Amino acid sequence: MPRARTAAAALAVLTGLAGCSGGDAGPVTETGDPANCPGEVLDVVVSVAQWGSLVDQLGGDCTTVTTVLGSAAGDPHDHEVGTGDVAAFSAADLVVYNGAGYDEWAADAADGVSPRPVVLAVAEIAGARSGDDPHLWYEPELVPRFADAVTQALTGLSPDAAPYLQQQRQLFTTDLQPYVEALARLRDVSAGRSYAATEPVFDRTARAVGLSDATPAGYRDAVGNEGEPAPGDLAAFEAALAEGRVDVLLYNTQTAGSLPEQVRAAAEEAGVPVVEVTESAPDDDGSFVEWQVEQLGRLSDALAETA
């Protein structure tokens, strides 16, 4: 059953959290409908939009889902929990966060309320730890496992809603089919092909479809740790592009700066196709499936055209 939570206790803990302002537009809430839910409508807080859209789809009218970083403008690494966030966590029956060092402020927030809500860490489902690639939503086989875990957690909190939640889970499988088919098409054109990336946000999907990573290790490690690649790393990247060792460049459009732009320019000069990807769905880009299918399609087309 949903439970009331103590905001004051959470605020005392969270005001000590460190971090820079991410400049995000604030939480986004999708409200459930008690008239269409056979059980309790649960309050769910999700840290980032990559998972928030999926939770909202799985919970339907039986959940009110608040996504703390509901906009692509927010940076989960730098987010500072505010009083509005505290109120959301204090009312939550379920908290879902990514983990693996990506949004640990959400775990701290959940720990700061009493009684503590049920907490679902996606990293635990994936077997990922801090220091691993945290872009877990790009792991194709994890998506249905995540859906199962969310449905199980919601059912445990609102048993009377179980038939409705199971129906939502089945609908999710149907809705996911275009994503599954897009991955299959990409696998067909990825055999023996390579990619390089301005940032390692898409790596889990790239590995899953059989692409080999031609990004120079020094460059990849530096940007993966939010550092600055050495001049030699950048030169190695440009050489790999110029010498035809890269079939496609994955370019994260949500990262500004001269360095990724320089890499992109080198790819274009070498005739290497550039495929744009994003860490989170653009605010106007629809559902998780629509976002992913569009990216997968662009990558499949680029590889097919250069086969």
pLDDT tens across 171-213, in order?
A: 999 999 999 999 999 999 999 999 999 999 999 999 999 999 9
Domain ranges of the chain: 7-176, 186-305
Q: Domain 7-176, what architecture?
A: 3-Layer(aba) Sandwich (3.40)
Tokens of 298: 């662009």
Over residues 141-164, the pLDDT tens digits come to 999 999 999 999 999 999 999 999
Q: pTM of this prediction? A: 0.89
pLDDT in tens, 48-92: 999 999 999 999 999 999 999 987 777 787 888 888 888 999 999
Check: CB of residue 79 under 8 Å from CB of residue 22: yes
pLDDT bucket at 261, cuts 50 / 70 / 90: very high
Say how far residue 296 (Cα) sits from the centre of its chain: 15
Listed residue (267, 275, 304) closest to 202, CA to CA? 275
pLDDT of 21 reads: 32
Pick the CATH number of 186-305 from 3.40.50.1980, 1.10.3720.10, 3.40.50.450, 3.40.50.170: 3.40.50.1980
| Cα gap 298→277, rounded to integer Å | 9
Domains 7-176 and 186-305 share a fold: yes
Distance CA(106)–CA(112), nearest Å, equals 10
Q: What H or E segment, with its residue span, contains residue 100? A: none
Q: What is the DSSP string of 220-286?
A: HHHHHTT----HHHHHHHHHHHHTT--SEEEEETT--SHHHHHHHHHHHHHT--EEEE-SS--TTS-
Report CA torsion sign: 297, 303, 304, 305. positive
Q: Per-residue pLDDT for 17 more than 50?
A: no
> 3-state class of 188 per DSSP?
helix
